[in-house]
């Protein structure tokens, strides 16, 4: 019987009281059966001895066969008690030797308790123990299982075990809460399997190279128009990686692809493939959290400010779909996620998405993205974003937000332009009073002309 821990203690106490009365009954049955078998055996032996004497009254045949065993008789009987317990067979062996009659005078009866007895039915009460349930089944090898309360996990373990189990019983009331709870678990399990089958059937086949120890790509000996470096200056492919990214598997996959990994403390992005491309890596749970908090918007804006091209790398688990109920707690959250991702792409049109099922696939993709560009400058990548940090610490966020909303200040030099304007003007009124020549000394001439036209436009 399998049940909960509290129920197991109650049933154990009840069965221990019932066992005391049952043991007394079994002992009485065993004693009466023993006396019955001994009396019956002695009676048969005496009858056989009388029949032998009547067949040879002279008794002279014993001289010729003094050492010969004349007769061996075995008797076996089995009975069944009223309680249904089976009784093992009992066997007695009788030796009758010919001779002078002194050896025939005593007939010994051997009674071995190991050959008979009452075999009691074994009842084991076990609480649900998760994985240890399989050990219990292997140990006792039950033929009948009674579940005090239905448990879906244990039922699946019984199906896996199989064995000699003939019947499984549920102790549950009809149309009760326990029954409905069990049925709801069965329906949920069925729905989960159907969803899994549908997802597996719609998954795309991933063509990924087997193994992780690929040899480095050979050096190209043919110069092209896009590759202006001399042949003797060919270098190993290099990727600048944020030091915090070494907790993931991607840096190791890059190393196995023959890429030189340069660790640096980056304020913007996680990977710099070349001086014009920065990549921000997000796992699916981190992506959901960053979209909900708005942190990804600020990261995308910082990448657009300092790099010409930016990409968002989304890594999802292999052999699984990206969008699924596994990543979301509620159905509403799963519906809002695509909407927030679309809003991010609309706000930052230059941001590109990279979908990757594994680190090995990402490493191969990084090689393709940086194949026609020079290697990145580690010092430049490390200094990117430090001016923004200094600007944020020295000025109020409301003033910076106002300067960022001016036309022309959303280009790649936004941080430097805002920093120069904030240092060169006392307030916004003083900024509006500056001439085009004065603005050109602070900003790019084209940007200064555009900003002056906007500030002095008549509405």
CB neighbour burial string for 298-337, b if at least 16 within 10 angstroms, e if fewer:
ebbbbbbbbbebbbbbbbbeeeeeeeeeebeeeeeebeeb
> How many domains are contained in the chain?
4
Give yes or no: residues 103 and 144 share one domain: no
Q: Which residues make beta-bridge pairs with 239?
A: 261
Give yes or no: residues 107 and 172 share one domain: no
Report the pLDDT averaged over residues 389-409: 64
Among 37-41, 331-335, 341-345, 422-426, the least confident range: 331-335
What is d(CA 115, CA 90) in angstroms, rounded to the nearest whole number? 6
Count, residues in the chain: 459
The helix/strand/coil state of 375 is: coil
Which residue reads 């030091």 in tokens?
243
- CATH label of the domain that carries residue 295: 3.40.50.10130
Give yes or no: residues 177 and 85 share one domain: no
Give yes or no: residues 397 and 377 share one domain: no
Give yes or no: residues 363 and 264 share one domain: yes
Give yes or no: residues 378 and 240 share one domain: yes
Give yes or no: residues 258 and 345 share one domain: yes
- Let me know if residue 207 belongs to a domain: no
Q: Which residues make beta-bridge pairs with 238?
A: 260
What is d(CA 339, CA 275) in angstroms, rounded to the nearest whole number? 32
Question: What is residue 205's predicted lDDT score, i.e. its pLDDT?
Answer: 64
| 69 pLDDT tier (thresholds 50, 70, 90) | very low
Q: Which of 383, 410, 445 is the last residue of a domain?
A: 383
Report the pLDDT averaged over residues 291-318: 85
Give yes or no: residues 308 and 378 share one domain: yes
Q: Which of 74, 90, 115 is the last residue of a domain?
A: 115
Among 142-146, 203-207, 210-214, 437-441, the least confident range: 210-214
The answer to whether residue 349 scores a pLDDT higher than 80 is yes
Nearest to 287 by CA among 277, 278, 297: 297
Round the average pLDDT of the chain to a whole number and report it. 71
The answer to whether residue 280 scores a pLDDT higher than 90 is yes
- Let me know if residue 211 belongs to a domain: no
Give yes or no: residues 285 and 366 share one domain: yes
Give 105 or 186, the one with higher predicted confidence.
Answer: 186
Report the pLDDT averaged over residues 291-308: 84
- Let me know if residue 215 belongs to a domain: no
The answer to whether residue 228 scores a pLDDT higher than 70 is no
Report whether 259 contacts 367 (CB < 8 A). yes
Give 216 or 138, the one with higher predicted confidence.
Answer: 138
Integer angstrom CA distances of residue 224 from 218, 370, 388? 16, 15, 38
Which residues, other chains included, contact 399 with Cβ-Cβ below 8 Å and sequence gap of 6+?
422
Give 156 or 205, the one with higher predicted confidence.
Answer: 156
- Let me know if residue 213 belongs to a domain: no
The answer to whether residue 151 scores a pLDDT higher than 80 is yes
Report the pLDDT averaged over residues 65-76: 44
The answer to whether residue 169 scores a pLDDT higher than 90 is no
Give yes or no: residues 184 and 99 share one domain: no
Q: Which of 343, 367, 383 is the last residue of a domain?
A: 383
The answer to whether residue 176 scores a pLDDT higher than 80 is yes
Question: What is residue 400's predicted lDDT score, i.e. its pLDDT?
Answer: 67
Give yes or no: residues 354 and 245 share one domain: yes
The answer to whether residue 318 scores a pLDDT higher than 90 is no
Among 52-56, 75-79, 152-156, 185-189, the least confident range: 75-79
Give 77 or 171, the one with higher predicted confidence.
Answer: 171
| 311 pLDDT tier (thresholds 50, 70, 90) | very high
- Let me know if residue 122 belongs to a domain: no
- Let me know if residue 175 belongs to a domain: yes
The per-residue pLDDT for range 362-373, each reduced to its tens digit, is 999 999 998 888
Question: What is residue 313's predicted lDDT score, i.e. its pLDDT?
Answer: 93
Percent of the residues in the chain that have a pLDDT greater than 70, as a whole number: 57
Structural domain including 439 reads 387-455
- Let me know if residue 224 belongs to a domain: no
- CATH label of the domain that carries residue 399: 1.10.150
Percent of the residues in the chain that have a pLDDT greater than 90, as a whole number: 8
Report the pLDDT averaged over residues 222-239: 57
Question: What is residue 293's predicted lDDT score, i.e. its pLDDT?
Answer: 82
Give yes or no: residues 277 and 371 share one domain: yes
Sequence-ordered strand ranges (E) for 122-198: 126-127, 144-147, 167-170
The per-residue pLDDT for range 373-386, each reduced to its tens digit, is 888 888 888 887 66
């Amino acid at each position: 019987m399998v049940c909960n821990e509290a129920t197991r203690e109650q049933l154990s106490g009840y069965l221990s009281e019932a066992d005391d009365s049952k043991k007394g009954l079994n002992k009485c049955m065993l004693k009466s059966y023993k006396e019955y078998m001994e009396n019956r055996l002695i009676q048969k032996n005496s009858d056989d001895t009388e029949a032998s004497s009547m067949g040879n009254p002279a008794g002279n045949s014993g001289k010729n066969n003094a050492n010969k065993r004349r007769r061996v008789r075995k008797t076996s009987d089995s009975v069944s008690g009223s309680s249904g317990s089976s009784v093992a067979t009992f066997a007695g062996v009788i030796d009758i030797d010919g001779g002078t009659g002194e050896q025939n005078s005593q007939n010994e009866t051997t009674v071995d308790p190991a050959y008979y007895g009452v075999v009691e039915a074994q009842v084991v009460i076990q609480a649900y123990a998760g994985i240890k349930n399989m050990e219990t089944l292997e140990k006792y090898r039950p033929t009948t299982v009674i579940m005090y309360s239905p448990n879906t996990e244990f039922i699946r373990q019984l199906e896996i075990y199989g064995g000699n189990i003939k019947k499984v019983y549920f102790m549950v009331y009809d149309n009760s809460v326990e029954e409905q709870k069990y049925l709801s678990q069965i329906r949920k399990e069925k729905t989960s399997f159907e969803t899994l089958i549908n997802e597996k059937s719609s998954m795309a086949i991933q063509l990924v190279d087997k193994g992780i120890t690929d040899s480095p790509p050979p050096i190209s000996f043919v110069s092209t128009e896009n590759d202006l470096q001399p042949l003797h200056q060919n270098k190993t492919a290099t990727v600048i990686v944020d030091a915090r990214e070494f907790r993931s598997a991607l840096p190791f996959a890059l190393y196995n692809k023959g890429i030189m990994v340069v660790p640096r403390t980056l304020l913007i992005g996680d990977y710099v493939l070349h001086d014009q491309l920065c990549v921000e890596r997000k796992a699916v749970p981190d992506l959901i959290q960053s979209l909900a908090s708005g942190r990804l918007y600020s990261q995308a804006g910082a990448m657009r400010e300092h790099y010409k091209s930016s990409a968002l790398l989304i890594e999802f688990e292999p052999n699984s779909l990206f969008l699924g109920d596994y990543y979301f707690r509620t159905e509403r959250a799963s519906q809002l996620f695509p909407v927030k991702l679309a809003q991010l792409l609309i706000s930052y049109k230059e941001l590109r998405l990279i979908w990757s099922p594994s680190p090995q696939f990402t490493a191969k993709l990084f090689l393709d993205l940086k194949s026609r560009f020079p290697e990145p400058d580690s010092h430049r990548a490390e200094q990117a974003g430090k001016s923004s940090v200094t600007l944020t610490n020295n000025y109020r966020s409301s003033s910076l937000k106002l300067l960022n909303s001016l036309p022309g200040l959303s280009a790649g030099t936004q941080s430097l332009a805002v920093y120069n304007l904030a240092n060169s003007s006392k307030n916004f009124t003083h900024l509006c009073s500056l001439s085009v020549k004065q603005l050109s000394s602070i900003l790019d001439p084209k940007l200064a002309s555009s900003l002056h036209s906007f500030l002095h436009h008549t509405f």
